[in-house]
Structure 1
Amino acid sequence: MNQYRSFDLLKTNELSVIRHGFFRPWFELTDGVNLLLIKQTRTTLLKLTDFALMRGTWR
């Protein structure tokens, strides 16, 4: 989990959402330097989503 950064240490007001993939996209929330969050959809029918943060993963 070294690639993530805590929201508590954030020092900017500008965040970017970057989309990766086309058919099963996943998204990154970043401040341009550090990765803050990853949102991934596991299935397309039930729309089960995983959120990965520095403190853990939520499903």
Structure 2
Amino acid sequence: MKIQKRFIRKHNDKDYYKFVVNIPPMVLKEAGLKYDEEIEIKSEKGKIVLKKKVRDKSC
């Protein structure tokens, strides 16, 4: 698995990119995540951690 760099746009002679990682369907299933579900992301000690976003039930 690799991190992919994708060109988004150029503005004032500056290039803007986003970075993409493809997550295999089995890994999503094992983690209990589904397509189009909101997630939280953070980095810690050389790791990138994704977790299901907890919704506020008071709304």
Which category describes the TM-score, using the shorter chain as reference length?
under 0.3
Given the two structures, how large is their TM-score scaled by the length of structure 2? 0.27
The answer to which structure has the higher helix fraction is 2
Larger gyration radius, structure 1 or structure 2:
2
Query: Which one has more relative contact order, counting CA pairs under 8 Å at least 6 apart?
Result: 1
Given the two structures, how large is their TM-score scaled by the length of structure 1? 0.27
